[in-house]
C-alpha cells in the first residue's frame, strides 16, 4: 500500500463535476484519504499511480489537468495541524516536518 498525492484542475466545470471527481478520488483510495488543500488530496491505495490516474481520468475532460504522484516519508509543508498529524501517522513519521505551522504573512 502506498501514499499518493492527487492534484487536479477542472476547467470551466460545475460543482457536480467536482462532486463526481471527489467521489472517484475516495473510491480510488483504500478508505484512507485526506483533502488537505483546494485541489490536493492524499490517498492511500494498494494500486499504483497509473491505476489511480486511469480511474480518475474517467472524470476528466479535454483541458482539465491531473497529477497522481507517490509520496515519500520526506516532506515539508505548511498545512493545518490535523493534516500534519494525519501525514505523520500514516507515514509513521517520528520527526517533525520542516514546516508544520501556517506560513507568516508577506
Range of 46's domain? 2-71
Give pLDDT, residue 96: 52
Three-state SS across 4-39? EEEEEECCCCCHHHHHHHHHHHHHHCCCCEEEEECC
Residue 27 and residue 59 in one domain:
yes
Residue 67 and residue 79 in one domain:
no
Chain segment 21-39, per-residue pLDDT in tens: 999 999 999 999 999 888 9
Q: Which residues contact 65 (CB under 8 A, 6 or more apart)?
A: 7, 8, 9, 11
Chain segment 53-87, per-residue pLDDT in tens: 999 999 999 999 999 999 887 777 888 888 888 88
Say what the pTM is.
0.81
Residue 31 and residue 67 in one domain:
yes
Residue 39 and residue 65 in one domain:
yes
Residue 98 and residue 57 in one domain:
no
How many structural domains comprise the chain? 2
Residue 81 and residue 44 in one domain:
no
Residue 42 and residue 6 in one domain:
yes
Amino acid at each position: 500500500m502506498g501514499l499518493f498525492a492527487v492534484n487536479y484542475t477542472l476547467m470551466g466545470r460545475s460543482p457536480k463535476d467536482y462532486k463526481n471527481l471527489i467521489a472517484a478520488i475516495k473510491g480510488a483510495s483504500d478508505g484512507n484519504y485526506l483533502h488537505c488543500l483546494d485541489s490536493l488530496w492524499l490517498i492511500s491505495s494498494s494500486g499504483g499511480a497509473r491505476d489511480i490516474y486511469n480511474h480518475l481520468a474517467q472524470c476528466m475532460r479535454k483541458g482539465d489537468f491531473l497529477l497522481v504522484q507517490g509520496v515519500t516519508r520526506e516532506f515539508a509543508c505548511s498545512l493545518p495541524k490535523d493534516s500534519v498529524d494525519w501525514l505523520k501517522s500514516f507515514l509513521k513519521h517520528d520527526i517533525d516536518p520542516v514546516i508544520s505551522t501556517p506560513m507568516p504573512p508577506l
